[in-house]
Amino acid sequence: MILLSVQLLGQSFEEQVLKYFHKEFPEYQKIEIQLQQKYLTDEKIVIDYTRSIKLGKGFAFIPVIATKGKKTSPSVVSVKVQLFKKLLVASKDYERKELLHSSGFEEKILDVTQINGNPVKTDFTVLDYRAKAFTKKGEILFEEKIEKIPLINSGDKVLAEVRNGNVLVTTEAIARQQGSAGDLIEFVSLGSKIFKARVINATKVVVE
């Protein structure tokens, strides 16, 4: 068991907790904490690195070893926390199905403690996507509000490849759904047979 005594380091417990947070969660640009408990002068609290921090919505629970007098026991310290992360924010309104472009977003460091959803990473390639729903200027770009630009739309004619052993057969088909590269979607053959195929590009699919 590895324990760290804050008294030996000459740091306050709060400073040590903040340092621990930055080490465990390097993806955040800024972390602010506020201890929810006060301890008596005869209590000694050290972080227990054999257990993990548990994060909730706006709170975290730090594993510690608490010593009072001759009694030592594992415990947790409740900490109010704010987590700040660099995110992409819309610098203009985006209508549904409007193509995204890099000039339409800016990077901002925001508090993500209470947000619901999955914000995209700042190195995200927005040019491959379009808005799935209306996105207002100033809103964070979430994965749930975007979709890949479809290579094939419903009604498009494509060439469907079917491999049977060493024999490769190609036939024309009509898309019944829209899809991007790698998607498995429905098509209908000229003989009205419905099947699923994997999208390769805008004109070619492979039957699986």
- Rounded Cα distance between 146 and 157, Å, is 26
Instruction: Specify the pLDDT at position 39.
Output: 57
Q: CATH fold of 157-207, please? A: SH3 type barrels. (2.30.30)
Residue 42 has pLDDT above 80, yes or no: no
- Stronger pLDDT, 10 or 38, i.e. the higher one: 38
Q: Determine whether 64 is exposed, middle or buried from the number of CB atoms within 10 Å of its CB (0-12, 13-18, 19+).
A: buried
**CATH 2.30.30.760 residue spans of the chain:** 157-207
Give percent of the chain with pLDDT exceeding 70. 91
Q: CATH fold of 84-148, please? A: Type Iii Antifreeze Protein Isoform Hplc 12 (3.90.1210)
Q: What number of residues does the chain have?
A: 208
Helix residue ranges per DSSP H, 44-200: none
Q: What are phi and psi of 145, to 5 degrees?
A: -105, 10
Q: How far apart are the first and last CA of the chain?
A: 53
Instruction: Specify the pLDDT at position 112.
Output: 93
- Stronger pLDDT, 196 or 125, i.e. the higher one: 196
**CATH 3.90.1210.10 residue spans of the chain:** 84-148
Helical (H) or strand (E) element with 16: helix 13-24
Read off the pTM. 0.69
